[in-house]
Structure 1
Amino acid sequence: MRHLIIIALVLFGAFNTWAEQSDQDRIIRINAPINIASEESKKSFIAPHETNLKSGSVLNSDFQVEFVNFPENAKPAFLYAVSIYENLISSPVPVKVRATWKSMGTNVLASSAPASMYRNFNGARLSNVYYPVALAEKLAQKDLNGAEADIECAFNSSINWYYGTNGDCPSNEYDFVTVVLHELVHGLGFVGFFDIVDNKGTIDNNTNAPSIYDVFIYNQGNEQIADEDIFARPSTTLKEQLLSNNLVLKSQGNTEAVNVYAPQSWNVGTSIYHYPENEFSAGDANALMSPFIFKGEAIHYPGDKTLDVLAKLGWKSVSFEGYEIKDFEEPCEKLPVVVEVGGEMDIDQSSVKITFSTDNFATSQSVSLAYNNNTDQFEGELPLNNATGKIYYYYQAQTTGNVAFSYPERAPEQKLSFRVGTDYYPPLLQHNPEKMVNSESPVLNFAAVATDNVGIARVEVEYLVNGQEQDAFVLAKEGVDNYAGRLEFPMQLHSNDVVEYRIVAIDNTMRENKRRLPASGYYNVSVFETEEPLTGYFNNFDSPNTDFEISDFEITLPAGFTSGNLHTVNPYPESSADNQKYNLLAQLKYPIVLEENGLMSFDEVVLVEPGEEGTVYTEDQFWDFVIVEASKNNGKSWLPVTDGYDSSVDDLWSSQFTGSLKSAVSQAAGAENMFLKQTINLTDNTGFEAGDTVIFRFRLASDKAVTGWGWAIDNLSIQNVTTAVDETLAADDVTIYPNPFKSSIYIDGFQSDMNDVEVIITDLYGKTVYRETLYDASYSGKIKIDLPNVAPGVYMASVSDNYLNTITQKIIKN
């Protein structure tokens, strides 16, 4: 997450951010408008509309507030003001507000500005025009500035504030809710770059580019003052306009306008980015955006004019759906076109049209599209007249308020295209390889993303078993570009079998252009066999072992740890396919017979990308995650024994991951002191019950964006395979110790009648790892047995005497 350094300067009560990026499509130097405290008293109250309160309806946006040095009694009023905008403002991206409590002089109530502004992003309606970041994120449909605030606002700690939310502000106090509502409007868009410097009017940034608010300012002669062909920058003629007291906010071609505060003396922080105080009569909510707030004045609704201006800036929009025209090969006289047009504004149904060109808009032709009441779509035909080659096009529509929209935005500078004629372009194909299959139930679940300019005919899996080609397996289409399928092998597999495959996408053309992954050769799939079932399992991973079938996991001693563990490769891989996960897997080869309330426990470190705040496992924005899964049909299907989780479950993990994020890779590394114990009840709401024989796997699911160190697991215990040190074997006091042990054990306590004794040590699968007959054991005293070459794990030690009495104890080698 990026961190922005804010340098605050107080100038006539305003703060300005004075750092500016070299990338001129983002700017963080914005003069913050201010709100002035009038000494006059005008006690009044304008209530919010009922549906504008948080409880009135489903919220259209999410404002997230960070308070800096804020008094506790001011926070509820601030959040109340925020709740009003959460229904008035619509955005799929949270609006992040940083509110600071500070001393700001005697007559300044507050100041506010966007933390940054963007231009020429995907979704911007106008070229080379800056949009406040919150609005840019709405139009772009994505977060643009990470953890940084979208709106920076400051409030004067020296003001005599009224913190109530009922509008009954005393005549000697200033209503805090009113001022918060005012400042948030500045952060949402009532802001720009007009200024007077060296006695000339100018645009005060290094790119000489206006804000979206600036381009809506006209004079009474219907001249746009941001038009440099009319008013040069810098110039005295532009200065005269800024001081003319004769400016309005309007859309080009729209007869409605709102007067702008443009007094004959330039006032930093108030000129241009407010309405004139004398514009409104008593009881008019639009007075909220005048530069002055009176004592006792409570306005808890932004006003229809202000909301209309915000809509014009882009806070209300029109959407075009189903607009894409695919390439095709056979020329035609007329091409049917269908598009859906909707959004947050009423559409003039007679205004929807498509404009196309066969010569890259040297010339063009527009075709009106008619509304179909049955399908809620706009339909028409392009008169192509058997044209071939590339055809460029864009859509247009107007609202009932004469606000014009196009798709793509800034058309015809930006435009769509399709091609008529023979196609030579292979499809685009994305796929995350499958790397392992269980020999006893050989099933592979494939997924791929395939797109093509003409269309996809099919996506299939070509595979070999021991070099022999098998019948191709066709994947089913799931969604627009997603293909998936479940291949159940028609033959039994064995661990020494060689399985290879590739994904092939074929387009919908006469040539059947193809794309293969991998581009040459095949992916290899590891075939493994499960072992005999156990009632329990333990592994501290201090030595390499083959108990797990692994893909992108390792059993090693990683840096930062004092003992070995099972961990993903560091950093873990990203998905190569859009909207699909890359799976890192570690599957235990030994099935476990479940006991009632049997427990699995392990120590873990989880450093994987956390999802969006408030999201939960299975939601789209729950990005990377780890999960423990189990199967009772040998891997044909898997059920979670835990919900997926990420670094956010622990404050240390989360802060380490996010605090070390650089260029989409977290530099944080796991360490011994970051281990936490995870304990899972295997039969409690898991879909499994006592008596089930299941196999377990550990899975890290990674998407196509941020990556990091990964997941480490240690001291895995399933169903309490543990013993106490110096545990007594039986009543005759024969003991085996130490337990756990490192390389040697001792057997002690032989009775006088125990002559010949046989010691057998087996692993949990019945394989004998040590066997010896001890003669005259009672005279030998304590017996030492060296087991240096035995792998760490759980074993059964059996001691049988010459009377065929046998005592058995579990022992653990570390």
Structure 2
Amino acid sequence: MLTATLLTVLSMVLAPDIYAQSKWRKEAVRVDPVVCYASEETGHAAVPPPQEFMNRLKSAPKSSDIVVKYINFPDSAREAFEYAVGIWETLISTSVPIYVEARWERLNSGTLGNCSANGFYVNFDGAPMADTYYPVAIVEKITGKEITGSANPDMTACFNSSVAWYYGTDLKTPGSKYDFISTVLHEIAHGLGITGFFNVNASTQTGYYGYGNKLPSVFDRWVEDFSGSRITNQTLFKNPSSDLYYKLISNQLYSGSPVAFGWNYESRPRLYAPSTYKDGSSIYHLNDISYPYGSVNALMTSSAGRGEAVHTPGPLTSGILADLGWKHLYFNFLPLHDREEIPDALKFATEITSDLGILGNSCFLIYSIDNFESHSDSVALEKGETENGYSAVLDPGTEPVRIRYYFTARDTMNRSFTWPPGSPSGSFSLTLGPDTVKPLILHDPVTFVLSSSGKIDLEAVVTDNLGVDSVFVVFYINGQEQPGLNLLANGDSLYRGKFPLDGYKTGDTLGYVVVAIDIAAGRNISRLPATGYFTVKVEQVFNPVITYFTDFNIPNDDFILSDFSINIEGGFDNAALHSPHPYPSPDTDDTYFNFTTMLRYPVIVVENGKMAWDEVVLVEPGEEGAVFGGDEFWDYVIVEASKDFGMSWLPLQDGYDSGSIPMWKSAYNQRIVGNNSITIGNKDLFVRREILLTENGNFTAGDTLLIRFRLLSDPYAHGWGWAIDNLEIQQNLTSPGMTTLPPSNFLVWPNPVENYVNFSVDIPGDPSDYVVQILDMAGRPLASHSIDQSRGEVIRFDIRHLKAGFYLIHLTEKGKTLFIRKVVKL
């Protein structure tokens, strides 16, 4: 039986830390970069940096940390880049580092640079606007948590290496050059949020925005027409529609940012919306005519002229960024617990901080006793004894009641914030009076234990609206109830226990039930499972061996299959060890499924002992740059071993996913429906994996190891799964006729193919000895390509001109056939 398990429950596997997983983290989208063009305007303009930056030069502290990774950058450009970074570090505040990848490369003529945020997230914890995508740097600022880290930068900015740049900081840019600092400031502003999802289809004259779910970015939310109507209001402008198209080319679009309006003498920022839509430029710049060359708001216009040095975002850009989330108001509040006794008074205490200060007498507790249907009232929050503390006292009356409540406050720009965001619909709840709510038990059932262990380890996460009194386990042997044994609290909501298998004899049926009791006067009781009990199989372990091999074609009892099976799947010629296909994923935040199988034969490790197998891995790949154990490394497979007969497990090597092999990743992404891959594995995706049993230092020669294969599935996305064949442990590790990794790697993808087929080859020796060809089924060569690199080269064949049918990919060494793979042209 498979059930959900909380993150803390998974601590038993002793894998690297697994970070909390929420649905919003799986729904990130990326957009094309916004482009900054060079204009032919020439002159001299000098707009100095903002006063905040000048104060910093006098030892005032910076309010953020921007970390830059330079790629191919000349030293002269780096110094200017750091100067621009320093300006932004004084204007925006965040507790999380902002990672920028800066690339120096040749771009199209007339282009100064471009930039894109490397991920947008929707409905994250504390999101100010629902159903709105925010760039990752803003998400990290608002949540106070790092989402992607240095391996996956928050933004990527590219700068044209062929432009005549001026790198000086003195605002004396000559009329023959473009000011580099101004361009860096401009591109970083795009990465900070001046970007979004608007686009047009000129041929059908329709405007649109969004990615599948048709949701806008936070910048898009503020875009309005001349009359002040938001163009993302679908009651006025359908998405997609011709009405939206004509708005996007109307030359009369504005940002409705209230902070920009206030900071710019009550004048709305006019956006760049030319009559011909310019992809990568329209909407996400200020209007060039309204904010001409050299003016204080000229930094974010669509093009920059020679000799134009603008070293400040200006009030309009700064104001827009403020309303995107860079000037925020925060509540720090711990919700009140339900209680059975009704107190004389309820005290609600919270901390409130704001980047722009808090407007006096603007903080309130809003509450209702009928779910805000007809009743709503407020109590002013009074300033507390601590610097940021506020509190309100409420008389709850004498009768049982359910109170819904939230907080509201305004900053000095008179912007209103609520907590939770979106209240009253998302407001807190407090119940006073008799409690009838049962405890909630989350538990990953133990399906088997090893007879050699002599005990069973159990864990459960138990929560209750009032509090938990006790958690215990009732065991059953052959259906007969045994005395209950307590699970002891071990951290927040986690309960654990180790129980001996006393009284159990071979052949008996072992079962158990987890029971939780809360502290209510009526002692509400929960039982998991609700009826019957979890059945545990006591499994035997065989005598230790030094070598082992199986091709899974001869039935045997070598594996405790648990969640796996041995069978011949469609697309495979022979039997193999298979995870569930497709494997399921939980649909609840911070829950995980584990699928395991274990070899019954303990293996005695010898010096330099190796293990190898053929495998297909189609499990959800992590984000680009994510590493095992990191925040955005999603599903994975892993091979683990235990030298204490199953009491603890350690990895033989780090877990991996479809992203570890290009062919697998391509196959996984080839057919995505919703969040899931529906690509079905087949024999052509087999890759050989070989590992040294002592490679990572967890084990040494002489250890006796139990070995298991485990697939972890985190929430909201899944794929086909894992197949394993031709398992060899400490034998001759060759597998004739199979792709090997290492030392040889021959990969072909996608298959079937429509337009282009890729071939990747890792080969020993001189690459000039090798040739790869496409042959028809009669063996006639249709195309050939020599090998230039011995490792990692990807060769791409264009087969759009070929008729549908079967073709062969043929690799030769000095004319000798090494490898043939059949591909299907659709």
Task: Give the TM-score normalised by structure 1.
Answer: 0.66
Once the two structures are TM-superposed, the CA of residue 247 in structure 1 deviates from its matched residue by: 10
- Does residue 250 (structure 1) correspond to residue 252 (structure 2)? The answer is no
**Matched residue of 1:642: which SS?**
coil
> Following the alignment from structure 1 to structure 2, what is the Cα–Cα distance between the partners of residues 83 and 716?
53
Matched to 1:393, the amino acid is: Y
Cα gap change, 1:493 to 1:566, in 2 (>3 Å): farther
1:64-463 mapped onto 2 (5 Å cutoff): 88=92, 123=126, 125=128, 161-162=163-164, 166=168, 170-175=174-179, 178-179=182-183, 181-182=185-186, 185=189, 225-226=228-229, 250-251=258-259, 257=265, 259-260=267-268, 274=286, 286-290=297-301, 293-299=304-310, 301-303=312-314, 306-342=317-353, 346=357, 352-361=363-372, 362-373=375-386, 377-399=389-411, 402-412=414-424, 414-463=426-475
Please report how far the alpha carbon of residue 246 of structure 1 lies from its aligned counterpart in structure 2 after TM superposition.
Answer: 12
The question of whether the paired residues in 2 share the 8 Å contact of 1:431 and 1:577 is answered with no
In structure 2, the residue matched to 1:629 is 640
1:598 Cα deviation from its structure 2 partner: 2.1
Could you say if the C-alpha distance between residues 93 and 46 of structure 1 is closer, same or farther in structure 2, counting changes exceeding 3 Å?
Answer: closer
Within 2, Cα distance between the matches of 1:586 and 1:335?
A: 53
Q: 1:334, CA displacement in angstroms? A: 0.6
Distance (whole Å) between structure 2 residues aligned to residue 596 and residue 193 of structure 1: 57
- Which of 590, 602, 609 is the aligned partner of 1:598? 609
Q: Deviations over 1:69-104 (max 9, x none)?
A: x99999999998997799547589999999999979
Separation (CA, whole Å) in 1 of partners of 2:290 and 2:734: 86
**CA 463–252 in structure 1, closer or farther in 2 if over 3 Å, else same:** farther
Q: CA deviation at 1:278?
A: 8.0
CA distance in 2, matches of 1:335, 1:668: 56
Within the candidate set 41, 44, 64, 2:43 is matched to 41
Secondary structure of 1:634's aligned partner: coil
CA distance in 1, matches of 2:441, 2:657: 29
Q: Could you tell me how far apart the structure 1 residues matched to 2:216 and 2:691 are? A: 58
Q: Distance in 1 between matches of 2:598 and 2:28?
A: 47
Structure 1 CA distance for aligned equivalents of residues 370 and 103 of structure 2 = 50
Q: For residues 541 and 566 of structure 2, what CA distance do their matches in structure 1 show?
A: 19
Distance 1:520 1:445 in 2: 22
Q: SS where residue 561 of structure 2 aligns?
A: strand
The correspondence for 2:520, drawn from 509, 514, 522, is 509
CA distance in structure 1 between the aligned counterparts of 2:569 and 2:168, rounded to whole angstroms: 60
Q: Is the 8 A contact 2:261 2:316 kept in 1?
A: no
1:279: how far off?
7.2
State the match for 1:717 in structure 2: 728
The structural deviation recorded for 1:36 is 7.7
The Cα shift of 1:464 comes to 1.7
Q: Using a 3 Å threshold, how does the CA distance of structure 1 residues 369 and 495 change in structure 2: closer, same or farther?
A: farther
CA–CA distance in 2 between the matches of 1:660 and 1:244?
A: 41
Deviation at 1:510, TM superposition (A): 2.1
State the alpha-carbon separation in 2 of the partners of residues 60 and 687 from structure 1: 37
CA displacement at 1:485 relative to structure 2: 1.7
Cα distance in structure 2, aligned partners of 1:274 and 1:40: 19
- Structure 1 residue 163: Cα displacement: 5.1
Measure, in 1, the Cα distance between the counterparts of 2:197 and 2:681: 47
Distance 1:263 1:606 in 2: 48
Structure 2 SS opposite 1:424: coil
1:517, distance to aligned residue in structure 2 (A): 2.9
Match of 1:539 among 529, 550, 563: 550
Give the distance between the partners of 1:602 and 1:273, measured in 2 at CA: 55
> Are 1:465 and 2:477 counterparts?
yes
1:614 is matched with: 625
**Deviation sequence 1:567-586 (CA, Å, 0-9, x none):** 21211233476424322111
> Structure 1 160/649 Cα, relative in aligned 2: closer, same or farther at 3 Å?
closer
Structure 1 227/100 Cα, relative in aligned 2: closer, same or farther at 3 Å?
same
Whole-angstrom CA distance in 1 between matches of 2:271 and 2:715: 53
Alignment gaps of 5+ in structure 2: 1-26, 200-206, 238-242, 737-826
Aligned to 2:742: none
SS of the residue aligned with 1:551? Answer: coil
> Cα distance, 1:411 vs. partner?
3.1
Q: Percent identity?
A: 31
SS of the counterpart of 1:534? coil
The separation in 2 between residues aligned to 1:651 and 1:243, in whole angstroms, is 45
Q: Answer yes or no: is the 8 Å Cα contact 2:45–2:293 preserved in 1.
A: no
Distance, in Å, in 2 between the alignment partners of 1:253 and 1:76 is 35
Q: Could you tell me whether the CA contact under 8 Å between 1:543 and 1:555 is conserved in 2?
A: no
Deviations 1:669-709 (A, max 9, x none): 33323233322322344333333222221212222221112
Q: Are the aligned partners of 2:367 and 2:377 in contact in 1 as well (CA < 8 Å)?
A: yes
Inter-partner Cα distance in structure 2 for 1:544 and 1:320: 62
Alpha-carbon separation, structure 2, partners of 1:450 and 1:93: 37
Question: Distance in 2 between the 1:610 and 1:27 partners?
Answer: 15
Alpha-carbon distance, 1:527 to partner: 0.9
- CA 1:250 to 1:449, structure 2 compared with 1: closer, same or farther past 3 Å? same
Equivalent pair of 2:364/2:407 in contact (CA under 8 Å): yes
Conserved? CA contact 2:272–2:283, under 8 Å: no
Structure 1 counterpart SS, 2:598: strand
TM-score of the aligned structures, taking structure 2 as reference length: 0.65
CA distance in 2, matches of 1:31, 1:699: 39
Distance 2:734 2:217 in 1: 72
Q: Give, in whole Å, the separation in 2 of the partners of 1:398 and 1:535.
A: 71
Aligned partner of 1:311: which letter?
A
In 1, the alpha carbon distance for the partners of 2:655 and 2:695 equals 16
Higher deviation after alignment, 590-599 or 334-343: 334-343
User: Equivalents in 2 of 1:175, 1:132: separation in Å?
Assistant: 30
Question: Helix, strand or coil: the match of 2:656?
Answer: coil
Contact kept, 8 Å, 2:293 with 2:305, in 1: the verdict is: no
* Aligned AA (1:651): P
SS at match of 1:161: coil
Structure 1 residue 310: Cα displacement:
0.9
- How do 1:721-760 residues align onto structure 2 when only pairs under 5 Å count? none
Q: Which residue of 2 aligns with 1:4?
A: none
Query: Which AA in structure 2 matches 1:328?
Result: R
Name the structure, 1 or 2, with higher relative contact order (CA <8 Å, separation 6+): 2
| Cα contact 1:608–1:647 (8 A) shared by 2 | yes
Give the 3 Å change call, closer, same or farther, for CA 573–218 of structure 1 in structure 2.
closer
Change (3 A) 1:300 1:461: farther
The residue aligned with 1:565 is 576
Task: State the distance in 1 between where 2:569 and 2:43 align.
Answer: 70
Residue 81 of structure 1 contacts residue 180 of structure 1 at CA under 8 Å; is this kept in 2? Answer: no
How many residues get paired? 666
Task: Mark the CA change 1:441 to 1:381 in structure 2 (over 3 Å): closer, same or farther.
Answer: same
Q: Quick check: which has more Rg, 1 or 2? A: 1
Classify 1:585/1:30 alpha carbon distance in 2 versus 1 (closer, same or farther; 3 Å).
Answer: closer
Superimposed CA distance per residue, residues 773-796 of structure 1 (whole angstroms, 9 cap, x where no aligned partner): xxxxxxxxxxxxxxxxxxxxxxxx
Distance (whole Å) between structure 1 residues aligned to residue 255 and residue 139 of structure 2 = 29
The match for 1:500 is 511
Corresponding residue number in structure 2 for 1:657 = 668
The two structures, once aligned, show a CA RMSD in angstroms of 5.7
8 Å contact 1:669–1:709 — kept in the other structure?
Answer: yes
SS in 1 for 2:641: strand
Q: Deviations over 1:544-603 (max 9, x none)?
A: 210111211112222222232222121123347642432211111122222233222222
Q: Which AA in structure 1 matches 2:635?
A: D
Of the three residues 587, 595, 598, the one matched with 2:598 is: 587
- Counterparts of 1:180 and 1:648 in 2: how far apart (Å)? 33
With over 3 angstroms needed to count, the CA separation of the structure-2 counterparts of 1:393 and 1:538, relative to structure 1, is same
Q: Is the 8 A contact 2:272 2:301 kept in 1?
A: no
